[in-house]
Structure 1
Amino acid sequence: MTELAHAAAPAAGGAGGFASFIPLILIFVVFYFLLIRPQQKQAKKHQAFLNDLKKGNKVVTKGGIHGQIVSLSDNVVTLEIAKDITIKVSRDAIGGPLGKDGTTEQKEIKSSGG
């Protein structure tokens, strides 16, 4: 009888060991849907915006510089920040588009606000 009790104990311990991982798995699932997935969607959206940049677009850099795109290359964007004053920045330094009134567009603020 004691041998039967000892044989059943490891089986219950194995099932109990898996059950202890269920909360950890649930936490990972919650983190995925609340943090990781939205961040990936926003990164894809920003990458699509960077790929669709065109000459004449008004943009703001991540450093806060407002300007209009004068020329583009694969990695470098030339911005006119004042009359006859241009700067070159990395394409990745572009933070988002500017609205018609010179402020960042509202949809960009909402999506990056988190």
Structure 2
Amino acid sequence: MFISNAYAQGITGGGTESSLMTFLPLLLMFAVLYFIMIRPQMKRQKEHRNMLAAMAKGDEVITGGGLVGKVSKVGEAYVGVEIAEGVEITVQKASVTTILPKGTIKSL
């Protein structure tokens, strides 16, 4: 009555081209995602790993919790950080976020 019949469209010669065109937006979105999000994050992780490998005794650091101090001991997984005269804490090496320039901390 009010609804007309729907018929499937016949297949024409451009079958492979149409399947490529259906995946093209998906491929473009993945490429944009890679260059906007994944690649910069991998670069930051590599820089952080290199910074932790180069950390040495006497470096001034900021931890993930916001503590500022001088490195007194460096181990495989943990770092001793002197936050005040005679006060030393042990933190995970990965929690060190920044190595400060020498002379930034003057009160220690």
* Equivalence map 1:40-59=2 (5 Å): 40-59=42-61
RMSD: 1.5
The one-character-per-residue Cα deviations of 1:22-66 (angstroms, maximum 9, x if unpaired) are: 011011111111111111011101100001110000000011000
Question: What is the percentage of aligned positions where both structures have the same residue?
Answer: 33
Distance 1:62 1:11 in 2: 60
Q: For 1:20-35, what aligned pairs fall within 5 Å after superposition?
A: 20-35=22-37
Please state how far the C-alpha of 1:12 moved relative to its aligned partner. Answer: 2.8
- Give the secondary-structure state (helix, strand or coil) at the position aligned to 1:81: strand
Q: Which has the higher helix share?
A: 1
Measure the CA separation in 1 of the matches of 2:12 and 2:55.
62
Does the CA contact (< 8 Å) of 2:60 and 2:104 recur in 1? no
> What SS does structure 1 have at the residue aligned with 2:14?
helix
Once the two structures are superposed, what CA deviation does each residue of 1:56-78 show, in whole Å capped at 9, x if it has no partner? Answer: 00000011000100011111100
SS in 2 for 1:95: strand
Could you report, residue by residue, the CA deviation over 1:67-102 in whole angstroms, capped at 9, with x for unpaired residues? 100011111100000000000001011011123435
Using structure 1 for the length normalisation, give the TM-score. 0.76
Larger gyration radius, structure 1 or structure 2 = 2
Name the TM-score, length of structure 2 as normaliser: 0.80
- Unpaired stretches in structure 2, ≥5 consecutive residues: 1-9
Higher relative contact order (CA 8 A, sep 6+): 2
CA distance in 2, matches of 1:91, 1:10: 62
Give the secondary structure class of the aligned counterpart of 2:44. Answer: helix
Question: In structure 2, what is the equivalent of residue 75 of structure 1?
Answer: 77
